[in-house]
Structure 1
Amino acid sequence: MLTSCGNYQRVLKGDDNAAKFKVADSLYQLDSKGKYRKALKLMEQIVPVYRGKPQAEKLMFMYANTFYELEDYFLAGYQFERFETSYPKSDSVEVAAYKSAKSYYELSPRYSLEQKDTYKGLEKLQVFVNKYPNSQYREEANVLVKELREKLEKKDIEVADQYLLIANQVGSYKPAIESYENFISDHPGSIYREDAFYGRIDAAYNRALSSVPQVVEERLITAKGYYNQYIKYYKVGARREDADALLLEINKRLSVYEVTTTEN
């Protein structure tokens, strides 16, 4: 009866803040998007009124969670952060912290786009896991952390691959080599790490081929060193056959210098 259409409109347009709180709470408990939207209209009117009052803690959590349930993750993340700051001893603070972090996870775009929100979500989730090591949400949070990390890794490996593709067209391989090296350093446990090791060999070999004669031998030796590092970690790697094919070409070209040295 409290949430009937006629009564809702009267409360919404009226001045009775207690009635607005009661109807908003009733709508919120019905747990549906349509009811959340109606509850939100009431909450928006009374949040400033209840600030500092005993009912504010409950209201502010409902307010934040309503945005979350309506998938407005930007405002949900912000409001849950405010709740954490305002009510650090609340029984709901752990849930608020998790949902705040998850809101930023939800804002994370596809890997090919700007990843500012991905970094923010990763940071928030890691803070949550560290702060609440025994939380019931810990396992799920770790899954989300893994997913965001893999998204950043995919972004970084594709950037490196793009540098290599550009280098194949314009002949400047140093940015690709540096990008693969940064990937190896920044993502030691990545599923794309082997690709980075192989890409570095490929880029270094092609850099040697496109170099002036005076430095070709030196750069071929560098490429061979990258192959040796690849083998150290991936003796049975998925790119082993491709890497061995590159090594064959490297050794074939280095043999020319060995013959020249012997003749001299």
Structure 2
Amino acid sequence: MFKIKHVLLLSFTIIALTIAGCKSQFEKIRLSNDVAKKYQEAMKLYNKKNYSKAIILFEDLSQKYRGRAEAEDLNYYYALTLYKLKDYTTARYQFKSFADTYPTSKYAEECRYLGAYCYYLESPKSSLDQTNTKAAIDALQLFINFYPKSERVADASKYIAALRLKLETKAFDNAKLYYDLGGFEVSNYKSAVIALKNAQIDFPDIKYAEEMDLLIVRSQYNYAKNSIEIRQEDRYNEAITYADEFMESYPQSKMLDQAKALKADSESGIEHAKRMIAEFQKNQEKYKAMLAKEAKADSTNTTIKTPIK
């Protein structure tokens, strides 16, 4: 039993010393002033996919190799290591810096592409701020402009299409939010119409065009319905116009019946508003007549008659 424990203890000690030896060897190279050896070790670690250690050496070497012939390859692998570590913010900066510094390098095209691709990878879901999405589109388009015959253009174009769809979704969701908030504030329905139209101006080929056009009809209808009667006729007429435009643009739409129903309801709304206004005016006339009659009666009752003598 004692021998077994002794053997186990010895084994653990050997493993610990081996690990410590490896660590001390790396630290020794890291602290070394032998930049050639440090660069060789950094590449060895990179090729072994030990990026977390390789980046430490590359970061140190990037300062020491500045202005030297070897700096080009070093900066290329430095940027790639950051990319492998998924530090996309720093990586895209390094890729762009490389492409700007070495525009004729054999790595320039790849770095310009990967820098744009890092923006793409950092683009958030459509419900969040889309600053990186717009930056990614610009960067990918710039790559296409620089290298129109590159094999990577097809992928860059595909990514741009995906990013634009995300912006379209964001625009549609923002506009729809105004409609959803219409129950709290009537003017939000009108804001929804404006936002939906603006989104279609910004994205003429927007994927959600049909759904957005119907929502314009529905928003305008609700805006009219919840307005005071004196404003309803004009606002219902706008809803009818939008409904007619929808039916003309999408004659085979699955939502055609909804557009027809909204148009019919708008026409009924106009008739109802007219009756309400007429009734109100009639009652006003009755009220004015009653006031006039009462005023005349009061005048007669207050006349002072001369007593008969």
Q: What is the TM-score normalised by the length of structure 1?
A: 0.90
Q: How far apart are 1:165 and its partner, in Å?
A: 0.9
What is the aligned length?
Answer: 254
Q: How far apart are 1:131 and its partner, in Å?
A: 2.1
Q: Does 1:176 align with 2:169?
A: no
Deviates more, 1:163-172 or 1:241-250: 241-250
Distance in 2 (alpha carbons) for counterparts of 1:39 and 1:168:
58
Distance in 2 (alpha carbons) for counterparts of 1:74 and 1:232:
48
Q: Which residue of 2 aligns with 1:220?
A: 236
Q: Relative contact order (C-alpha < 8 Å, sep 6+): which is higher?
A: 1
| Paired residues of 2:229 and 2:273 also in contact (CA < 8 A) | no
Give structure 2 stretches of 5+ with no counterpart. 1-21, 277-309
Q: Which residue of 2 aligns with 1:40?
A: 55
Q: Which residue of 1 aligns with 2:16?
A: none
Could you list the per-position Cα deviations for residues 131-163 of structure 1 after superposition, in whole angstroms to 9, with x for gaps in the alignment?
222211111111111111111111111111110
Paired residue for 1:243, among 251, 259, 262? Answer: 259
Is the alpha carbon distance of 1:232 and 1:69 closer, same or farther for their aligned partners in structure 2, counting shifts above 3 Å?
Answer: farther
Distance in 1 (alpha carbons) for counterparts of 2:56 and 2:158:
35
Q: Does 1:109 align with 2:127?
A: no
Alignment of 1:71-90 (within 5 A): 71-90=86-105
Q: Which residue of 1 aligns with 2:34?
A: 16
Residue identity in the other structure for 1:136:
E
Distance in 1 (alpha carbons) for counterparts of 2:171 and 2:254:
20
Give structure 1 stretches of 5+ with no counterpart. none
For 2:243, what is the secondary structure of its paired residue? helix
Is the alpha carbon distance of 1:108 and 1:26 closer, same or farther for their aligned partners in structure 2, counting shifts above 3 Å?
Answer: same
Paired residue for 1:201, among 213, 217, 220? Answer: 217
Distance in 1 (alpha carbons) for counterparts of 2:39 and 2:133:
35
- When Rg is computed on C-alpha atoms for both structures, the one with the higher figure is 2
| Paired residues of 1:208 and 1:219 also in contact (CA < 8 A) | yes
Q: How far apart are 1:120 and its partner, in Å?
A: 0.8
Q: Does 1:126 align with 2:134?
A: no
Q: Which residue of 2 aligns with 1:160?
A: 175
Paired residue for 1:69, among 78, 84, 87? Answer: 84
Identical residues among aligned pairs (%): 31
Distance in 2 (alpha carbons) for counterparts of 1:183 and 1:152:
10
Residue identity in the other structure for 2:261:
A
| Paired residues of 2:116 and 2:140 also in contact (CA < 8 A) | yes
Q: How far apart are 1:181 and its partner, in Å?
A: 0.7
Distance in 1 (alpha carbons) for counterparts of 2:148 and 2:74:
27
Q: Which residue of 1 aligns with 2:201?
A: 185
Distance in 2 (alpha carbons) for counterparts of 1:169 and 1:139:
47
Q: Which residue of 1 aligns with 2:150?
A: 135
Q: How far apart are 1:28 and its partner, in Å?
A: 1.8
Distance in 1 (alpha carbons) for counterparts of 2:177 and 2:150:
41
Could you list the per-position Cα deviations for residues 160-200 of structure 1 after superposition, in whole angstroms to 9, with x for gaps in the alignment?
11101111222112211111111111111121121211111
| Paired residues of 1:37 and 1:70 also in contact (CA < 8 A) | yes
| Paired residues of 1:111 and 1:151 also in contact (CA < 8 A) | yes
| Paired residues of 1:160 and 1:179 also in contact (CA < 8 A) | yes
Distance in 2 (alpha carbons) for counterparts of 1:111 and 1:146:
14
Residue identity in the other structure for 1:220:
Y
| Paired residues of 1:187 and 1:193 also in contact (CA < 8 A) | no
Q: Does 1:229 align with 2:257?
A: no
Deviates more, 1:223-232 or 1:199-208: 223-232
Q: How far apart are 1:8 and its partner, in Å?
A: 3.1
Q: How far apart are 1:224 and its partner, in Å?
A: 1.4
Q: How far apart are 1:58 and its partner, in Å?
A: 0.7
| Paired residues of 1:183 and 1:196 also in contact (CA < 8 A) | no
Q: How far apart are 1:130 and its partner, in Å?
A: 2.3
Could you list the per-position Cα deviations for residues 232-254 of structure 1 after superposition, in whole angstroms to 9, with x for gaps in the alignment?
33222343232222122123334
Q: How far apart are 1:13 and its partner, in Å?
A: 2.2
Q: How far apart are 1:255 and its partner, in Å?
A: 5.1
Q: How far apart are 1:123 and its partner, in Å?
A: 1.1
Distance in 1 (alpha carbons) for counterparts of 2:229 and 2:270:
13
Residue identity in the other structure for 2:52:
R
